[in-house]
Amino acid sequence: RTNKRVFDHGIIRDLLQRPIYVGSMNNAGVLVKGKHEAIIDPETFERVQREIRRRKERQSPVGEYFLSGLIRCGVCGGPVIHVYAKGGKNKNYTYSYYACKAQHVRRKERNNSCSLGYHPEEKVNKWVSEKIKSIALNTEELEKELERQKKVTENDTEIIEQLEKAYEEVNRKLNRWYAAFEEGIIDPGQLKDRINLLEEEKKKILARLDDYDIEPNDQEEIMESLKTIGEAWELMTIEEQKSIIRAVVDRIILYPDRDPEIIWNV
């Protein structure tokens, strides 16, 4: 044995992300159906990709915002981003806000009428911190919160099933186009146009699936983690607080006219 044959994390991650295992090949930047037999079904492969993306998003690199990657829009379901605005008498103050990505674009590029509005970053961050501390210090409130979470999870499961069915339908359409190409019914140019449209549709479905954590976590472990937060929270550094939040919170839903909603990582 030599060190060259040792499997490190990078090699394993690379293996998990290879589309060749589901019977696909890369042809000039477009995934096409190969002639080899798939050894992994598409649904399992995509679940793995979602989990890889989810874990990557949960990492908290230095310089990242307090709630980066955790906030979703309660109006359209899209991602929430940071935006800045100048204010004050001489425009010499910079204010930071949370806003829906779909809303904060040039008017001609908007594809929906999201009305989330702009929420002061400091106010949202403080609300989330206070909510976590209050629940961590109140066992009864924590149990109520986790009971509510069960109902949310049940609803999430139904949505996931619908999205997975939509994803399977897109895959069936892709396979029909590949078959038509192999039979000479359409030319490569037509195939590429159709494939690009369907791949874009797949990306949108996967983006929505990424919002849902289908792998249940140990509820008692989360409860114990929360209980230890309350008294120690103020003593933690910002980086420690960010790590803790990502350990116990799955996502935070921001609404235009009421308090945010925390979806716990259970």
Structure confidence by residue, pLDDT tens digits, 178-205: 888 777 787 777 778 888 888 888 888 8
The reported pTM is 0.54
Residues in a beta bridge with 264: 249
The three-state secondary structure class of 26 is strand
Q: Per DSSP, which regions of 162-201 are E strands? A: none
Q: Give the tens place of pLDDT for each residue, 217-261.
A: 556 666 666 766 766 777 888 888 888 888 778 889 999 999 999
Q: What interhelical angle do 188-209 and 139-182 show, nearest 10?
A: 170
Q: Give the tens place of pLDDT for each residue, 66-81.
A: 888 889 999 888 889 8
Cα–Cα distance between 230 and 220 in angstroms, integer?
16
Computed on alpha carbons and rounded to an integer, the radius of gyration of the chain in Å comes to: 22
Encode 207-249 in three state secondary structure: HHHCCCCCCCCCHHHHHHHHHHHHHHHHHCCHHHHHHHHHHHE
Strands across the sheet containing 119-120? 80-87, 93-100, 119-120
State the distance between the two ends of the chain, measured CA to CA, in whole angstroms: 42
The three-state secondary structure class of 252 is strand
